[in-house]
Structure 1
C-alpha cells in the first residue's frame, strides 16, 4: 500500500510545474551543485528561501558543511546545464564547473550561473530533516536578476519553456 501511495504521490507531483534551478555551493568542503525544482520562498523579511535536497545525494553533506549556497533560476536556454547538474549527461562535477558559464557571487563568492533569470546567494541558517530530504532554510544576502527571458520549467517529467510573450 505504501509503495502505491508513493507512486501516486510522485505522479501527482509530476503534474506540478516548477522552475528549474541549479543550486550550487562552494566552500571548504568543496564545490558542488545539483538541479532542483523543490525550491520555494519562505519570507521576504528576512529574505529566506528553502531548498530540498535528497539525503542520499552525495552533495547533501557538502551543502551542510559549506553552510552557503546559490539558487540559480534557469532560463529556457539553460536546459543543457540543467541536465548536467541533474546527472543526466555523465559530465563529472569538476567538468560542470569548468564550463565558462560561472561567475563568483559578489557577497559569498558562490557559483552564479551567468544569464540565469535570478541568482540568489545566501547562508544556510537551518536544516530540517523530513523523510528522504533535508530542507535547507537559506537567508539571502545577494540577488542578481536577468529578467525578460523565457523560463525553463519541469512538468510531466520533462523540460518545458514558458515564454514571456504569453
Structure 2
C-alpha cells in the first residue's frame, strides 16, 4: 500500500486516498445532455450513474454543483442519458473538458422535445425526467424516471473508466 491508500481507520482518509480508492472502481461512461431554455444543447461526461430499481425504473446521476449544466437540468427537469459505446472515447473527453461548444463537429440530433441526442456515439439513449434533487457534497444527486429508451448505433459495446483511463469493452459472453 502507498502512503495515500494506507488504512486510516482511526480517522477520515485524506482526499488523495479516497480519489485513489475510487479510481479502482470501474464506471460506465455516459454523456448527460439537455437543451437550455433558448434551445442550445449542453452536456457533460459522467461516470456517476446507477439504476435504482427495476419497477419503477428510476436512475440516479451525480452532477457537479459548480457545473454549468446543473441549472439547465434543474430548470428543464429533463435530460438524455447517452450511454457511450466503446468507440466514443473522443466524445467522453470532449464533454469532460471545458470546451465552449462541446457539440461542434459532432453528429447529434434533437428529439421532438428538443433534447440533444448523441445516438451515433451511444449503445443506447435514455430520455429521463428529474423527480428528485438531493444534496451530495460538492454534487447534486438527481433521481430521474426513465421515460423512453432508444437504441444507439454503437451496438452492444461499452466505454468504461477505470484507473483514470478509458477502456473499451465488447459484448463477448463471459466464459
Instruction: Give the TM-score taking structure 2 as reference length.
Output: 0.82
Shift of the 52–41 alpha-carbon distance from structure 1 to 2, 3 Å rule, reads same
List gaps (5 residues or longer) in structure 2.
Answer: 1-10
Contact 2:34 2:73 in 1 (8 A): yes
Q: 1:145 aligned to 139, 146, 151, which one?
A: 151
Give the structure 1 partner of residue 172 of structure 2. 165
Contact 2:123 2:151 in 1 (8 A): yes
**Residues 50-97 of structure 1 deviation map (CA, whole Å, 9 limit, x = unaligned):** 10011111221121112111110101111111111001xx5323xx22
Contact 1:67 1:124 in 2 (8 A): yes
Question: Could you tell me how far apart the structure 1 residues matched to 2:34 and 2:94 are?
Answer: 16
Q: 1:92 aligned to 88, 93, 100, which one?
A: 100
Between the two proteins, the alignment pairs up a number of residues equal to 160
Contact 1:154 1:160 in 2 (8 A): yes
Question: Could you tell me how far apart the structure 2 residues matched to 1:47 and 1:109 are?
Answer: 23
Q: Does 1:101 align with 2:107?
A: yes
Contact 2:36 2:42 in 1 (8 A): no
Matches within 5 A, 1:24-43: 24-28=33-37, 30-43=40-53
Q: Does 1:52 align with 2:67?
A: no
- Indicate the structure with greater helix content: 1
Contact 1:105 1:121 in 2 (8 A): no
Q: Does 1:123 align with 2:133?
A: no
Question: Could you tell me how far apart the structure 2 residues matched to 1:12 and 1:100 are?
Answer: 34
- Indicate the structure with greater strand content: 1
Secondary structure (helix, strand or coil) at the match of 2:89 reads helix
**Residues 85-127 of structure 1 deviation map (CA, whole Å, 9 limit, x = unaligned):** 001xx5323xx22334212235x43111123111000111110
Question: Could you tell me how far apart the structure 2 residues matched to 1:100 and 1:10 are?
Answer: 31
Instruction: Give the TM-score taking structure 1 as reference length.
Output: 0.86
Give the structure 1 partner of residue 117 of structure 2. 112
Secondary structure (helix, strand or coil) at the match of 1:91 reads coil
